[in-house]
Amino acid sequence: MDRVSRIISLTDSPNDAPGSGVVEVNLFGPGYGESILVHLGSNQWLIVDSCAPYDEADPIALGYLRRIGVDPSSAVKYIVATHWHDDHIRGFSRLVESCPQADVFISSALTHRPLMRLVRANVPRHVTNLREMHRAIETLLSRPRRSGQPYSFLLENSALHSALLHPGNDVEIWALSPSSVDVREALRQIRFFLREEDRRTIPAVPNPRENRASVVLHVRSGSQRLLFGADREVQGSSARGWTSVAACAARRGLERATLLKVAHHGSPNGDSEIIWRDLLEEDPVAVLTPFKRGNEGGRPRADDIARLCARTKWSFTTSAPGSVESPHFSPSEFVPEAEMAMGFEVVVEPAQPPLGHIRARADNDGGPWSVDLMRPAAHLCG
């Protein structure tokens, strides 16, 4: 049986809500970043990371939910920040504000008390991901307490939702990372930022080119199993990287997934033979968001696409390579009026590829996926 029953390319995002027994996975990206929205069944939703087209815009996941007639304030049950890089958390604080019934989870790498004091007290303006964290945590702390903590930290083998916690509900969500070694290494990196002389120059916490403590999630709804790789990287230690993820899944006895959110935008440092050998069924659905910042070459490259399509023919991207579509910006949004008045020639180029949307649906009692591609989303393998 084919893994995918149909692929449809659409111009506009659809407005039909999934049925109660349908698992739906939406991947939005990149403009700017990526976000995953999952229907777990019975109008219960999970949001992983946040994507917004610009700083003050609503996260894309909220707009989609409202368009299909779902109220995020009651339907979103879980929100996860897999790690604190800008391309995964832009608009995260607005997710938290709009979904007061949701349990919120963040990586255990942020448990370092000096960092949290800095976040709450004196956030440097140039470190945008710390400002986003500050707004989100202040919102969480100001909520009326239902029970327990305002937010929870995730470590490998942490349950967000399990049969033990919610008997009778056929959904399980497990964090498979970070390991304790990952967290230790992440905190070692963060400590340098806490020195005053470094704080003025470092653009993000953690360093945007490194990711030591990203949260990988395994989601089961009925018979469907999903693996979300965030930006998990290959590491040379059995206690880190994808090796520790596979070991955690084996200890829990988790079944192989049929849908993968590809790690790290398809780059080789997020790919590992272990993922395909131990964590996925044969020829799974694989979805990814591209990444491009400024003049950097970006991902995925031609060799990344060839590698991914050799692993599964059901590989999809939210923005097709070489797409000519792009957002329309006014130069005055980016260039001071004084410079415009002086007659400078201004060329404005989008820093990210245009926003796309992949939607995959399947019955939660099993069966193939159907895939809708909202342009410029595309099938990578033809």
97-128-230-49 Cα dihedral, nearest 10 degrees: 10
Largest Cα–Cα separation, the chain: 68
Q: Which whole number is the average pLDDT over 309-315?
A: 97
Report whether pLDDT(69) > 70. yes
> Does the pTM of the predicted model rise above 0.85?
no
Tell me which of 41-55, 137-151, 186-200, 256-270 is least confident.
186-200
| Sequence-distant (≥ 6) Cβ neighbours of residue 127 within 8 angstroms | 199, 202, 203, 204, 205
Report whether pLDDT(342) > 90. no
What average pLDDT does the structure give for the chain?
81
Predicted pLDDT of residue 31: 65
What fold does the segment set 4-324+349-379 form as a domain? Answer: Metallo-beta-lactamase; Chain A (3.60.15)
196 or 242: which leads in pLDDT:
242
Q: Give domain limits for the chain.
A: 4-324+349-379
Closest listed residue to residue 62, CA positions, set 54, 70, 85: 70
